[in-house]
Amino acid sequence: MAQLNMVQAINQALSEEMARDDRVLLLGEDVGRDGGVFRVTEGLQERFGAERVLDTPLSESAIIGAAIGMAAYGLRPVPEIQFMGFTYSAFEQLFAHAARLRSRSRGRFSCPMVVRTPYGGGIKAPELHEESTEALFCQIPGLKVVVPSGPYTAKGLLLAALRDPDPVLFLEPTRLYRMLREEVPEGEYLVDLGRARVARAGGAVTVIAWGSMLERVLKSVGDYDAEVIDLLTLNPFDAETVLGSVKKTGRAVIVHEAARTCGLGAEIAATIAGEAMLYLRAPVLRVAAPDVPVPLAKLIDQYLPSAGQIQAALEEVLQY
């Protein structure tokens, strides 16, 4: 089995699915000839042609809007938005159309598409290139939100997203693109949407994270008896796995790199409070970014949750 990084794993998933299903096609800025600014789509235009890997104008709303029209027509488009910070000019298309088309037309039309976008901080990129506003998108019923945590989950989740009958926002943690290598099987395997993964078993505290924070959590928990849950799908998130673990450990810490207020951690904490309160031995804590705009490189380490903050939260709940 090959050791791949996440860029290679995503590329392989796209390539295999395009070979299998001629309804799948890619569109976006620089995805064709250039292979994408992170080279995720490298070689795909050469292999599948310019009709299937479309270099579009710099036009986020039209990229998502056109993908909606393609999906309704019967294709399975995979639009790429170059960075999550540029999805907002297409927000209306996602919110008002992609997520609602099936509902609005009562199933006459649907919108099976996967919007790929690099997300998250820590890569020394310019302003608006390091956003993690996943919670904005989790507030949109009808839109699934998925975040892989490594090469293996990236391929399996992407293949599952490509088979899903409804729109999926696929967030690719840029900090992990080339950081991790994992064994990634060639050919088909699916990581089911809506299912979390226990990344490390433990008994004293449950730590819930996703995307690049999972890597940081796994490095931070050290000798703590922590069970680490990799959420993978943010909406709908796997409450069953989260609650099952918290009922066992009696403690929960949620780690995300998005700003604290109204972050997804709030929804998870409320779910735990609502459905597992009597199992809790300590308050549910969140380790999150402060409620300020994502800074540039010089301050990003002050912004992103650190190992020290994660460990402090573990100490707090364990000694409560």
What count of residues does the chain have?
Answer: 320
Could you say whether residue 88 binds other proteins (CB under 8 A)?
no
Residue 171: strand, helix, or coil: strand
The sign of the CA dihedral 222, 226, 228, 234 is negative
Q: For residue 46, how far is the Cα from the chain centroid?
A: 28
Candidates 102, 129, 251, 286; catalytic one: 129
The only residue of 239, 282, 296, 318 in contact with other proteins, by rule CB under 8 A: 239
Own/partner contacts of 85-93, CB < 8 Å, gap of 24 or more, are 85/127, 85/128, 85/129, 85/130, 85/131, 86/60, 86/128, 87/60, 87/115, 87/117, 89/60, 89/61, 90/60, 90/61, 90/63, 90/64, 90/65, 91/136, 92/61, 93/61, 93/64, 93/65, 93/68
Could you say whether residue 54 binds other proteins (CB under 8 A)?
yes
Is the separation of the CB atoms in 149 and 214 below 8 Å? yes
Could you say whether residue 77 binds other proteins (CB under 8 A)?
yes
Could you say whether residue 21 binds other proteins (CB under 8 A)?
no
* Closer to other proteins by Cβ: residue 51 or 223: 51
The only residue of 40, 75, 226, 231 in contact with other proteins, by rule CB under 8 A: 75
Segment interacting with other proteins, rule: CB under 8 A, options 74-82, 251-259, 286-294, 296-304: 74-82
Size of the site for other proteins (CB under 8 A): 44
Could you say whether residue 65 binds other proteins (CB under 8 A)?
yes
* Closest separation in Å from C-beta 66 to other proteins: 3
CB-based burial of residue 23 (10 Å sphere; 0-12 exposed, 13-18 middle, 19+ buried)? Answer: middle
Q: What CA–CA distance (Å, rounded) separates 53 from 25? A: 6
- The amino acid at 288: A
* Closer to other proteins by Cβ: residue 142 or 173: 142
The only residue of 9, 44, 72, 317 in contact with other proteins, by rule CB under 8 A: 72
Q: What CA–CA distance (Å, rounded) separates 162 from 165? A: 8
The only residue of 33, 47, 73, 301 in contact with other proteins, by rule CB under 8 A: 73
Q: Is residue 97 flagged as an active site residue? A: no
Spell out, one character per residue from 242 to 281, where the chain touches other proteins: x when CB under 8 A holds, - when not: ----------------------------------------
Cis before residue 236, ω within 30 degrees of 0? yes
Could you say whether residue 195 binds other proteins (CB under 8 A)?
no
Could you say whether residue 28 binds other proteins (CB under 8 A)?
no
| Active-site amino acid positions | 129
Binding site for other proteins (CB under 8 A): 25, 51-52, 54, 56-57, 59, 61-62, 64-75, 77, 89, 92-93, 96-97, 101-110, 142, 165-166, 194, 236, 239-240
